Structure 1
Amino acid sequence: MRSSRIFRKWRRLDEPGLELMTLSTTAFGLTVRSTLVHAGAEGFGLRYRWDLDTSWRTRTLHVERTDAVETSLTIERTGDTSWRVDGEPRSDLAGCHEVDVSATPFCNSLAIRRLGAAGGDLLALFVDAPALSCQPSRQRYEPLGPRAWLYVDKGVSEGFTARLDLDEDGLVATYEHLFEAL
């Protein structure tokens, strides 16, 4: 990472939408704050704060809807692959390596960092936005080049694939058919 603060803007490609994100280094790792608006057929707004350790692994994630629904969700890592959601242990999420929030391309960078250059499969704690529901979902990341990956969903959206291109900071710059950095 080049600096202690990174700003990103992503726009949706499939429907109207925009995300504004700030990633900051802290004494304990990184903090990511973001606001996004999905103005498509099922419109919603989200705000999240994602606290990561120095290895870019989720420690906590707080997501809140900012539209008329006004609901929130807090996810906490309680072990290497164990989780608590809204203060309650979730044994059904045991084995999940990292969090994937459907409304943002930021989370794909976490999976890629966890897997490393060889890529592979991982079990993600998938957060469906706008519902803010959680479930495990298997994913595969195949390296295509130094900063290019093929994402293959083997779980919730089985069969979905997309090319991901990363920028110099290791963040998603383009997510085929869904997002691009501005």
Structure 2
Amino acid sequence: MSTVVYWRRTDVEGLERLELTTGPDGVTASGTVVCVEDGGFRLDHTWSLDADWRAQRVDVAVRGPHTQGVLRLDRTGEGWLVDGVRRPDLDGAQEPDLSVTPFCNSLPIRRMRDGADLTLDTAFIDGPALTVARSRQRYEPLGPGRVRYVDLGLSRGFEAELTVDDGGLVVRYEHLFERVEPA
């Protein structure tokens, strides 16, 4: 089964197209972000998720005036490889978080159970810069289809309310993204 969603940036000019393909063994997500931020860039990202929506691999390619290149993040046990090199500083990080897309919020949101908060460490990928660092975040349920995101790490103090659909995909991310339907 395949689903296509579009998000528009609300803080700068930008648009993303993401295609999700769900099969018996897992999910593949492929997206393209085009944004005028940081001098303008195009960023392509592909995610391989297992059947429980846990990221196994993320490939990112960016092309812009300040950065051009690729990055690959692979899960290995409780840790991560960045471009084939083990990164002990990322050990225990539960999921990747890619700065330029609300898609990655779906992974922890789908794990929230019984109305409980979820706090986790992430392997935060700064998309335009192609860097990876450990960060911490919390998701707090606010009611049906509503979640508060709280950054406890690299952007400590940032909070936003997220509205999500029944599949856990972001419909609106306060301050940053909103889903749009093609005309």
Query: The TM-score by the shorter chain falls in which range?
Result: over 0.9
**Do structure 1's residue 123 and structure 2's residue 148 form an aligned pair?**
no
Structure 1 alignment gaps of length 5 or more:
none
Runs of 4+ in 1 over 6 A off after TM superposition: none
Amino acid of the residue matched to residue 152 of structure 2?
K
State how far apart, in whole Å, the 2-side matches of 1:42 and 1:119 are.
37
* Deviation readout 1:34-63 (Å, 9 max, x if unpaired): 101111354211001100000000010000
Aligned to 1:91: 88
Q: How does 1:3-152 map to 2 (within 5 A)?
A: 4-68=1-65, 69-79=67-77, 81-116=78-113, 117-152=115-150
Q: Do 2:108 and 2:118's aligned partners in 1 also have CA atoms closer than 8 Å?
A: no
Structure 2 alignment gaps of length 5 or more:
none
TM-score (norm 2): 0.93
Q: Do 2:26 and 2:53's aligned partners in 1 also have CA atoms closer than 8 Å?
A: yes
RMSD value, Cα: 1.2
Q: Given the alignment, which residue of 156, 159, 177 partners 2:157?
A: 159
State how far apart, in whole Å, the 1-side matches of 2:86 and 2:112 are.
25
SS in 2 for 1:138: strand
**Of 168-177 and 51-60, the range deviating more from structure 2:** 168-177
Report the count of equivalent residues: 178
TM-score (norm 1): 0.93
SS in 2 for 1:71: strand
State how far apart, in whole Å, the 2-side matches of 1:157 and 1:135 are.
12
Amino acid of the residue matched to residue 133 of structure 2?
Q
Q: Do 1:112 and 1:119's aligned partners in 2 also have CA atoms closer than 8 Å?
A: no
Q: Do 2:60 and 2:127's aligned partners in 1 also have CA atoms closer than 8 Å?
A: no
Q: Name the % identity.
A: 47
